[in-house]
DNA sequence: CTCCCTATCTTTACATCGTAAAGATGAGAT
DNA sequence: ATCTCATCTTTACGATGTAAAGATAGGGAG
């Protein structure tokens, strides 16, 4: 961290000059700045505004640029304002991850519902999974690569749980079994772990550029999506190992 | 970052009192501190010492505690000393990741060589993969979860490449094919991506605690290793999806 | 043998970060 | 109209990465 950034911390003081010594006599009206209805000064939905600002910062500056202060700056409030709403950096990241999980789940559900053939149905969710991560790498990073998440937060726990439930359900449909919420057979657990590990592993490797090596050696113009498809179909059509 | 740490930055000054104003008249002999041959003051292998210190810090304090200054503290040198050897935090992390990859490759090779039956041979590398990550989660995190790595560094590039080559080779053996260094068929690429994604995904999910949900629902006492085995065997013995 | 060059290490400095604590602000209750 | 208190701002502190300047010797040049 601590990037040598030219962006001054006191950028805001341009429109709200710091009173160095003078007492609180005639404070410049904040209403002038909030006339654009961007962030309605004292009241309004600062919490939501901060989450949206965080998403914007994440898309613009990536994971490294997503700091508490940067988010506050983006929202046009003081750097300590987020504390009151999220308590912590962990709090903000966790709530943002929850937002991401909801988008993620919605994308997969939509893609799954649009499928018609069984083959399409089997490939729809994984493809949507990878597509979301490629479209929102920062968000995916928050959701899956960050140790600074607090899963005890209800919103995050619930959203992540929904993601898992969707996966388990899809596996159950493919196996034509009822996946119980309580207990799993080893075979069921293995099937779920397998599907999840494969797609999640593929996604992280892809986002980290670790698959470039493979993609570059494949027939000209083979996309990551094509490789994903082939990978997922392999256990069905591929040859078995051993003599 | 910026943990509220009680460890003072000036811990070293206990044995090497800071000369506040006095000129460089009689500097306390550094040889007294280096008499234990830990870090031979001015000369010696500071580079190696820093890498070992970094590994120690990583195992003790985890990824969050692995900072340039902490490593310098651990090695008993000033906080700016690492700069000259690694240039950057990225530099240090990259060299450390290279060390990790070499350990990692050695562990997998050893496990693979010890296998006797074809089934053992097929499971040896994945098991060693996960075992290494579980034994050295911090190191694995550096190697695979960090965006602050510079793969253009020869040592890191080479070590990571060796890891990939070992994987590709193992897949080639299982398929009884020769895996060319230049080109890959889609089927070959899919097999490699599949094996790597599955094991890597499983590992990251396991380290992140995301598999607890599954493990807790499995028959009493099912270990992660057992789940991994079942997962890897599934495409061979499991039932196929669809009607 | 002496002197100086240069790689190595230390000091100092600065911008940034997360977080705590205290001071202002204003909306709604009394 | 005044009070209360949630909300937001200021200020402060310790931590980090990194740049730049000062100190320290090892080793070659004279």
Predicted confidence (pLDDT) at residue B1 exceeds the cutoff of 80: no
**Chain B residues 117-176 within an 8 A CB cutoff of chain A:** 118-119, 122, 144-145, 147, 164, 174-176
Give the model's pLDDT for residue A163. 96
Q: Which residues of chain A carry a pLDDT beneath 50?
A: 1-40, 237-243
pLDDT-derived band at B43, boundaries 50, 70, 90 = low
Give the model's pLDDT for residue A121. 87
Cβ of residue A50 near strand D, that is under 7 Å? no
Cβ of residue B67 near strand D, that is under 7 Å? yes
Q: Which two tokens stand for residue B171?
A: 């897949």
Cβ of residue B18 near strand C, that is under 7 Å? yes
Q: B160-212 pLDDT, tens per residue?
A: 999 999 999 999 998 888 887 789 999 999 999 999 999 999 999 999 999 99
Percent of chain B whose pLDDT exceeds 70: 78
Residue-wise DSSP of chain B: ------S-TTGGGGTS---SS--SSSPPPGGGGGGGSSS-SSSS-HHHHHHHHHHHHHHHHHHHH--HHHHHHHHTS-TTHHHHHHSSHHHHHHHHHHHHHHHHHHHHHHHHHH--SHHHHHHHHHHHHHHHHHH-HHHHHHHHH-S---TTSHHHHHHHHHHHHHHHHHHHHHHT----SS---HHHHHHHHHHHHHHHHHHHHHHTTTTHHHHHHSSTT--HHHHHHHHHHHHHHSPPS--
Burial class (CB in 10 A: 0-12, 13-18, 19+), A178: exposed
Give the model's pLDDT for residue B3. 42
In chain A, % helix, strand, coil (3-state, to 5) comes to 65, 0, 35
Nucleotide nearest to B72 (CA to C1'): C9
Q: B82-141 pLDDT, tens per residue?
A: 999 999 999 999 999 999 999 999 999 999 999 999 889 889 999 999 999 999 999 999
Give the model's pLDDT for residue B145. 85
CA atoms of A79 and B52, how far apart (whole Å): 38
Cβ atoms of B92 and B149 within 8 Å: the answer is no
Supply the pTM of this predicted model: 0.85
């Amino acid at each position: 961290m601590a990037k040598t950034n030219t962006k001054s911390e006191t950028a805001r003081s341009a429109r709200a000059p710091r009173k160095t010594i003078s007492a609180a006599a005639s404070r410049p009206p904040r209403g002038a700045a909030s006339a654009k209805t961007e962030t309605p000064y004292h009241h309004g939905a600062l919490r939501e505004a901060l989450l949206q600002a965080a998403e914007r910062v994440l898309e613009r500056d990536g994971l490294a640029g997503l700091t508490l202060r940067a988010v506050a700056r983006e929202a046009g409030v003081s750097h300590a304002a987020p504390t009151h709403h999220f308590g912590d950096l962990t709090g903000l990241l966790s709530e943002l991850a929850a937002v991401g999980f909801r988008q993620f789940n919605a994308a997969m559900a939509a893609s799954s519902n649009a499928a018609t053939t069984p083959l399409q149905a089997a490939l729809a969710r994984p493809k949507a999974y990878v597509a979301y991560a490629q479209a929102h790498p920062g968000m995916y990073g928050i959701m899956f690569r960050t140790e600074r998440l607090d899963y005890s937060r209800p919103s995050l726990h619930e959203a992540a749980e929904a993601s898992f439930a969707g996966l388990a359900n899809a596996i159950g449909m493919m196996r034509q079994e009822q996946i119980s919420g309580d207990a799993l057979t080893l075979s069921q657990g293995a099937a779920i772990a397998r599907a999840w590990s494969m797609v999640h592993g593929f996604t992280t490797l892809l986002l980290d550029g670790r698959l470039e090596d493979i993609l570059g050696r494949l027939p000209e113009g083979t996309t990551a999506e094509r490789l994903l498809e082939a990978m997922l179909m392999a256990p069905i059509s591929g040859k078995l190992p051993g003599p």
